[in-house]
Structure 1
Amino acid sequence: MTLELKIVLLVLTYLLGSIPFGYLLIKFSTGKNILKHGSGNIGSTNVRRVAGKKMSIVTQLLDMLKGLIPVALFLTFSTSLANPNFIFMLALVAIIGHDFSLFLKFKGGKGVNTTLGASVLIAPYSVFISVAIYFIVKWRFKYVSMGSIALAIAMPIVELILHEITPTFFYLAFSSVLIILRHQKNMIRLLNGTESC
């Protein structure tokens, strides 16, 4: 794979990741600007607050596909083993596109669903175990944000336990740091007892 092709793939992946599905779905279905409602986030949790569960599920699936599609296409069509770590770059660029969308002046979501979509083919066991931890924490404490933070912490730890230190571990660690950084305000509200479910 040439350098030029890699650059094109990274740019296209960033643009795909940047599509703000939550923003667009709310805008077209209700006329509202989701950035000015609820938490101001474009992710599925805030979509649920503004437009209900069905629209939230659609947003969740579309955000996951933003990460899944470039990784799946690369795994399907790439025959080059010259740079096996390129898949991690694709996955991260999709996540960064969601978190810092070109179409929203580099505002965006918190990256949980896009990270799951990008990672499920790369580290399926770590993803599924971490999703299970998310549901347990969410069930116990009732906060989506707390479950998301627990998921982020779990992914690299589970990967480390299962496979020791590998490039996949470093990819998941970086992805998890992004999720945690994007949840800073949630963590403050959790500490203050003002977080919404």
Structure 2
Amino acid sequence: MPTLIAIIISYLIGSIPFGYLVGRLWKGIDIRELGSGNIGTTNVWRNLGPVAGIISLLGDAGKGALAVLIAKQLGGPSTVLLASLAVLAGHSYPVFLKFKGGKIVATGLGVLLSIAPLVALIAAIVWLLFVGISRYVSLGSIAAAVCVPVSMLILVDKWQVILFGFIISFFAIYKHRDNIKRLLAGTEYKIGQKKM
């Protein structure tokens, strides 16, 4: 029962759409009607500026960390991993926005910082390197997602956590499938690129 409670609470926490709320409270707009239509940090930053973007990032990462914290109080390692999946599912498929949410990168960062901080640090460095060189946020996110299970294979000795790393990596890449198509077509948005 505690595990089920942790999963439900984590899903509901994940469903809190910080990007959407920032848009509504910051500018009185629906962020889903701007840019990529995504409620995540990148779209908020791109359309509402860095302050709004940072608030969205902290909110999304914070709910990932909060879900892990609650799960640790309610159960053991398995409860934590299931709750972590639930908070990511909530962010990606939020009940409050008709199950249309973000791409789990920021929330995933919050989760990883709580269960595998060194892996999170490596992923963040990979993200920064790829974004800095290519100016594609999506490419940085995909590269960071790929490095998560690879880093876990090297640094983590618990097979459940490694499996968790592979699952969230696959999920993050899947959520970026439209970005991958645009990257291959050469039509993906670059940082600093003028809006059409």
Q: TM-score range by the shorter chain?
A: over 0.9
Query: By how many angstroms is 1:163 displaced?
Result: 3.0
Q: Any unmatched runs of 5+ in structure 2? A: 191-196
SS in 2 for 1:22: helix
Within the alignment, does 1:128 sit opposite 2:125 as a pair?
no
- Cα distance in 1 between the residues matched to 2:15 and 2:71: 19
Residue 11 of structure 1: which of 8, 11, 24 is its match? 8
Matches within 5 A, 1:182-197: 182-197=175-190
Residue 98 of structure 1: which of 68, 91, 97 is its match? 91
- Cα distance in 1 between the residues matched to 2:142 and 2:41: 15
CA contact (8 A) 1:91 1:119 kept: no
Matched positions, count:
190
Query: By how many angstroms is 1:164 displaced?
Result: 5.3
Runs (4+) off by over 3 Å: none
Identical aligned pairs, as a percentage? 37
Query: By how many angstroms is 1:127 displaced?
Result: 1.1
Query: By how many angstroms is 1:165 displaced?
Result: 6.2
Residue 29 of structure 2: which of 29, 32, 43 is its match? 32
| TM-score in terms of structure 2 length | 0.92
Aligned residue in 1 for 2:48: 51
Aligned residue in 2 for 1:173: 166
Aligned residue in 1 for 2:17: 20
CA 1:164–1:8 in 2, change beyond 3 Å: closer, same or farther?
closer
Aligned residue in 1 for 2:194: none
The two structures, once aligned, show a CA RMSD in angstroms of: 1.3
Aligned residue in 2 for 1:141: 134
- Cα distance in 2 between the residues matched to 1:191 and 1:164: 36
